[in-house]
Amino acid sequence: MTGAVFTWPDGAAAAVALTVDVDGPAGVTGSLGATERDLSAISEAEYGLTRGLPRILAILNEHSIPATCYVPGETARRYPDVIRQIIDAGHEVGHHGNRHLSPARIDEAAQYAEIEEGLQALHEAGAPRPAGYRAPDWQLTAHTFALLGEFGFTYDSSLMGDDRPYIASYGGTSLLELPVHWTLDDWPFFGWTPDYGWPHAAPGMVQQIWAEELCSAITEHRLVTFTMHPEITGRPSRLTVLRNLITTAKDANLWFATHSQVANHVKGQLHDPDLRFRASQSRRPRLPVRDRPARAGSPHDGNLHKAA
């Protein structure tokens, strides 16, 4: 095995970051091309705020698990109570653009505005200055990456260059990356609109895939980040996936942490010369047999249009 291997608090074999992209209607108007006239699309996004998010927060509260919620500025501006719910429950708020515009689809001036106006909106909604950023649609550009450095962000969570924390470097800017992946996101499995998306997956299939990812993270002593959307995982049938994921991770005594907590923990270790040595000492995970997943199949064929 190559790459960094980390140690985690209290001897945990791996770290688990549960992240929730609280897009709100900005998610469909910013990325998916829906207009405010499309009441069905807007209402599904609102369902995520009024019903889905409280359900997810209740489960996290039940298990005393901290999460990181990435919120576009426009959502914070229109629904400040959502920010209050997240903060009052002890979770981290991360930057997720302003109008949820994909950096790769807008010019440099608009990318700047997305960062600056998103920061302003989160501030006005009462959120602490965010330490982390996640690009809408996970379409980060070198320009926005450079802006993250200029605005003093501690970490990014939009890239897929590794499956553990790493230092990403582009054009003279280096930043801690807490990587993501489509298979660890609920949208490719369950998201659907008249224009995008694929047949809804069975929750059990996603549960198997995510349990397999947990098992691998334990083997390699790494972080695994899961991404959820309130309007998707907040539907009753999908909450089972979250509940079972938490049960499996708790049975294995893994470390649940916000992205900021992970960032603070791994920063020193990324420069530790002993990382390579520790990589040779990895052990197989000790998950209960009942939690070991069956081999999972491929979720979908084709492109994944919107997921973050």
Residues of this chain that bind Zn ion (CB under 5 A): 21, 23, 136, 308
Q: Output the smallest distance, CB 27 to Zn ion, in A.
A: 5
Q: Output the smallest distance, CB 5 to Zn ion, in A.
A: 30
Q: Output the smallest distance, CB 307 to Zn ion, in A.
A: 8
**Residue closer to Zn ion, measured from CB, 73 or 136:** 136
Q: Output the smallest distance, CB 103 to Zn ion, in A.
A: 12
Instruction: Record the tokens describing residue 154, joined without a space.
Output: 């501690």
**Residue closer to Zn ion, measured from CB, 103 or 136:** 136
**Residue closer to Zn ion, measured from CB, 70 or 256:** 70
**Residue closer to Zn ion, measured from CB, 195 or 274:** 195
Q: Output the smallest distance, CB 119 to Zn ion, in A.
A: 17
**Residue closer to Zn ion, measured from CB, 185 or 220:** 185
Tell me the three-class secondary structure of the chain, residue by residue.
Answer: CCCCCCCCHHHCCCEEEEEEECCCCHHHHHHCCCCCCCHHHHHHHHHHHHHHHHHHHHHHHHCCCCCEEEECHHHHHHCHHHHHHHHHCCCEEEECCCCCCCHHHCCHHHHHHHHHHHHHHHHHCCCCCCCEECCHHHCCCHHHHHHHHHCCCCEECCCCCCCCCEEEEECCEEEEECCCCHHHECHHHHCECCCCECCCCCHHHHHHHHHHHHHHHHHCCCEEEEEECHHHHCCHHHHHHHHHHHHHHHHCCCEECCHHHHHHHHCCHHHCCCHHHHHCCCCCCCCCHHHCCCCCCCCCCCCCCCCC
Q: Output the smallest distance, CB 242 to Zn ion, in A.
A: 18
Distance linking the first and last C-alpha atoms of the chain:
29
Q: Output the smallest distance, CB 305 to Zn ion, in A.
A: 12
**Residue closer to Zn ion, measured from CB, 98 or 207:** 98
**Residue closer to Zn ion, measured from CB, 72 or 285:** 72
Instruction: Record the tokens describing residue 3, joined without a space.
Output: 């790459």
